[in-house]
Structure 1
């Protein structure tokens, strides 16, 4: 079923702003439902009560026992569909005079929809599922939401929110303890202490901000200065050995959730957490920040490279356009000299040689060659700045990969300070 039709799963209250379309799509009655709800089996307000039990169970997975108020648009739709007169009844409780009738209607609704009540066996299965789901859940609320959908898909009546929330807290706490153990085993103690101390220390420069505040500052607009700032953050995190930490046992969603907790609160509030919780959240924050900054550097580097290529390509196009104008002008001059009847053959040859000198550069390269030449001669400082910024990134892959071989060769030449390719170099893989 599309998620649009599942947005009320787990709800124990309905919004007062419920629209008529939402009622028709999620709380509607079919022709078979109307036949089932006809007298003499259901009469008066009991008929409306059974209809409410049916549509609420079908849309939310819960019996509407605790529902304090029913949206007027829902009541109008149900009474109109059932051919009943409008009512101003505002709650489920007021629809029933005794509890037995309500329980009877709930049993009928469960059989009609095909739901069953949660028993000890399915409750144990739910507990196992919660332990699995807690590995990727970002919070207790998220885990409760996932469990509600899990129960709904298996046609199980959702228990009370407190029951689900208590089970979710137990599973989430167990997973959080496992995450703490992962941090303690995957990150050396000296790395944790040094990283946290450095994160809460003041950063040199105006403003007096901490390193933590600097790291969580969002990037500015696209440009070389922003890219340089991103690479400084990567350098800072790599100096703390963050790239060596082993946290793969913690799901990425959970890592990002812990990271977001640090981002959303003040540094002083994070500093006042319990030791275990502070270490867990700070380690995840630094680790995720390194991942994000690395991705950002690669993305900005690609955009910067595209900008440089576009500028060089534009200059080449302009030069080609200018040269084509010069060639047309030279062609007119050549034609005038060649067909000048007053000049001898020797004079014509002499004038043509003056017009086209022998030592004139003769380059008929491709457009790609011209663009490369423009990058080398006119954009060299910007290209060098880009390469220096991206040099901090470690590029890994298969040793036989062509691009990786090219990168290794260029980096080796750069370390040796070479300004050109050595003689006899095999460039067949380029």
Structure 2
């Protein structure tokens, strides 16, 4: 069930207002239902029709006829072909309770297709809620999930007391199970000592408790942060946290219990009941250890990259110096050779002195000079290695990185300042052996440190090494279908998931597609549509601008002039009234005006550059503490994503949105938000040369943002690109899934392209330096004669076939949800190039890229569509920058949950503006059509809903809640809403 359809589920009365879209989506009658109603009740069919459409939309019988929206009555009367009735007339139908009861029973038995839940159904609901409660944050979440589960299974929703008791029992059962797990897996004495420790005062000038210290998130990503992370890891390990096997609680629940500790003062945690306190603190300590382990590895990796960057800068300097020295020596040699006052013997002797026989030839390769530079960075390398020495890194037997770490630990225990002459350099990569075996033994030790640090970093990134107490660097086998299960159920899994067991059969189809693409490219070259230059590069003509009538821009301006200016807060509350996204964020309807406005304030504090104090200053009558409390709710990413989905679905259901796109194609790209250099994930934006954090958004071709996630700048974006599209397709019915996703060069890798294809959609990259891209073909494929000048590389079928089975195991693990695309593809980067899975997916991706490039070169409409979708994404980014015009404050976004909330709320506010513009444009279009002045659909297709010139994003915000009390607040609080 789509998010937009869910807002009526569980309701007991109609909202005060409905729109045409609401009626069209959620309260329609089929022709068969109209026929049965008219046959049964004739002129009195309106009452049963109202009962039917409400029962089907909400899952509950209608409790009151006092409010039945006039727009719904008008629609039903038209469908039933009876005279339009007023609400008073409808109430008069049911003056006799027996009549109402009779109509309800008949509707339920003959038309509603809903059955009362039996004992067996309630038992299944209990089982479902037990499974769902592992990720639920509160009982309210479970209550809503229970209502949705019942409606999806065609069951009536019982009274709230029954559902809430089941939800309470499921939630308490999970908590009780978690408490029992902590008690059984954590030694009681160790747990008591840890609890006592975290509440103890911390020594030093900073003061506070150990718990306060552990809550502090890293600031800058320098050596100081690395050292601080190391101290916290060491402290937690002294408490034995790394040995606590409580991961069976579930990652989401562990994080939820940990957040509860983070968000309350230590004194409040100390006052908890003993069992609750033990559970939450155990989860907090475990989650903190895993987070700081990941932070330490991340910071260590950044330090290594920084040193490599400095080394590359010095390469240029050293090469320039070497070139100058070479030029001077050449002058001296020339002068010596042509000197007339020296004999030949003297010249030879002088040349021998200039070029001694035992002088080593300088290695001026870039990699060699960088390695030489790293060998001299002893202090920084020691700090990096300290991050790795704090944890137990594991790997396969005989791993060279682990052998190097062991050797360094032995040398450290010996207090060695130099590398012993007899050191066995075979445990290092050959590239480092020249430095390690060199005469300078101090530099040799530095080379060993650099070799070990890089090997560990690459091993952790590629998955060949792992750490037990880490979120991101666990053993990759834990993310995949167990090998014994895969060997036993391979055929069933491959068949059920639509995968391919025979690689050669699949490659036969890919080969055919490549041949068809090459033939189309050959015909395009012959027709002069595509050119191949003398360097074997393809040259494409620029896409000609589309011939758009000037009347389109004038009409668009006229539409938005009619819509008129509006304040941002009015837009937010109006869309909330239509979509109930605040109900998604809270897990229920707001109980007071104060709570609702505080929630809006929290969304603004997260989704714009304003902080809590700034938002409290511009919203009258709301306290800072209320906003801060509501901000904690927004760290539940599932609720924010559900709110976004509901707004997105509302926008997409307008007829005008279908003119922009069917929602079966999308694009994704990153937008940089300015940030302080003290933010842990901040990096320098290469375009603007300022510190920034990345927000990666996925945008449908009808402009809505369907997925968002925070990322680090200057990192490959292919993993997050595939992740968002895979999530969307997984949560959509088959007819609404993405067919392809357009990305830029950063959002593409060969492995990602193959993974996307095997997951059911195509990755369509707009590649930079397109003319230099080579076509990748299987050995033995014939190229048409007029394409022989092309730059071509070949892929071996053997590398794909050998890794195919394990590649299918990886993709099957992805399909059933054991691993996410982001987790998978981040482990299948260049660091995993030696893996058979990487080789198989990389080879397949190269072939798929050839098929794509042939289509891209020869199909102008396809190329134009990709450009159009990417340009729409850029226009959405402009709106996002208007909403978030400042920078992320230094104290925000340090925790992953907080950064995710910033990204989600920013996307939510952007979707709200897009949905409001779409809704208002639809109203204007409908009005023009009624006035016999319809706007051409071709014109509307070239108008986007990202207009924001008339929206006031700044200034004092006064939310007109009184106009939307019935839609947004709980019924019990409506009477006091104005006074609250």
TM-score, structure 1 length as denominator? 0.82
| 1:394-413 matches, cutoff 5 A | 394-413=392-411
Q: What displacement does 1:306 show?
A: 1.8
Q: Which residue of the partner structure matches residue 385 of structure 1? A: 383
Q: Give 2:412's aligned residue.
A: 414
Output aligned runs, 1:93-104, within 5 Å. 96-103=94-101, 104=103
1:226-265 equivalent positions in 2, closer than 5 A: 226-265=225-264
User: How far 1:164 sits from its partner (Å)?
Assistant: 0.5
1:368-389 deviation digits (Å, cap 9, x = unpaired): 3321210112x22111111123
Q: Distance in 1 between matches of 2:180 and 2:378?
A: 50
Alpha carbons of 1:87 and 1:384: their partners in 2 closer, same or farther (altered >3 Å)? farther
Q: SS where residue 65 of structure 1 aligns? A: coil
Change (3 A) 1:85 1:334: farther
Give the distance between the partners of 2:276 and 2:405, measured in 1 at CA.
Answer: 42
Q: Which residue of 2 aligns with 1:124?
A: 123
Range moving further from structure 2, 189-198 or 4-13: 4-13
Q: Whose relative contact order is higher, 1 or 2, with alpha carbons under 8 Å and at least 6 apart? A: 2
Structure 1 partner of 2:113: 114
Which range moves more in the overlay, 347-356 or 127-136?
A: 347-356
Q: Which has the larger Rg?
A: 1
Shift of the 127–303 alpha-carbon distance from structure 1 to 2, 3 Å rule, reads same
1:277 alignment counterpart: 276
The yes-or-no answer on 1:180 pairing with 2:179 is: yes
CA distance in 2, matches of 1:34, 1:423: 90
Aligned mates of 2:311, 2:93 — CA distance in 1: 77
Cα distance in structure 1, aligned partners of 2:427 and 2:353: 42
The answer (yes or no) to whether the contact 1:89–1:95 under 8 Å persists in 2 is no
Contact 1:37 1:50 in 2 (8 A): no
| Matching residue of 2:744 | none
Partner of 1:316: 315
TM-score (norm 2): 0.39
Quick check: 248-257 or 418-427, which moved more?
418-427
Helix, strand or coil at the partner of 2:249: coil
Is contact 2:38–2:45 with CA below 8 Å preserved after alignment? Answer: no
Tell me if 1:159 matches 2:170: no
How far apart are 1:282 and its partner, in Å?
Answer: 1.6
Trace 1:73-222 onto structure 2 (pairs within 5 A).
89=87, 96-103=94-101, 104-105=103-104, 107-108=106-107, 111-222=110-221
Q: Which moved more, 1:330-339 or 1:277-286?
A: 330-339
Cα offset for 1:217? 1.9
Q: Confirm or deny that 1:331 pairs with 2:330.
A: yes
Q: Do 1:53 and 1:106's aligned partners in 2 also have CA atoms closer than 8 Å?
A: no
Which residue does the alignment assign to 1:367? 366
Bigger shift: residues 258-267 or 181-190: 181-190
Distance 1:261 1:93 in 2: 49
Partner Cα distance (2:328, 2:75) in 1: 83
* SS across alignment from 2:392: coil
Q: Please, which runs of 5 or more residues in structure 2 have no aligned partner?
A: 430-980
CA shift for structure 1 position 202: 1.7
How many residue pairs are counted as aligned between the two chains? 426
Distance 1:96 1:373, change over 3 A: farther
Aligned match of 1:268: 267
- By percentage of residues, which structure has more strand? 2
Q: Distance in 2 between matches of 1:172 and 1:161?
A: 16
3-state secondary structure, aligned to 1:273: coil
Structure 2 CA distance for partners of 1:296 and 1:72, relative to 1, 3 Å: farther
Partner of 2:59: 61
Unaligned runs of 5+ in 1: none
Per the alignment, do residues 44 and 320 of structure 1 end up closer, same or farther by CA in structure 2, a change over 3 Å counting? farther
Distance 2:14 2:361 in 1: 80
CA distance in structure 2 between the partners assigned to 1:408 and 1:372 by the alignment: 21
Residue 423 (str. 1) matches residue 422 (str. 2): yes
- Give yes or no for contact 2:38–2:80 (8 Å, CA) kept in 1: no
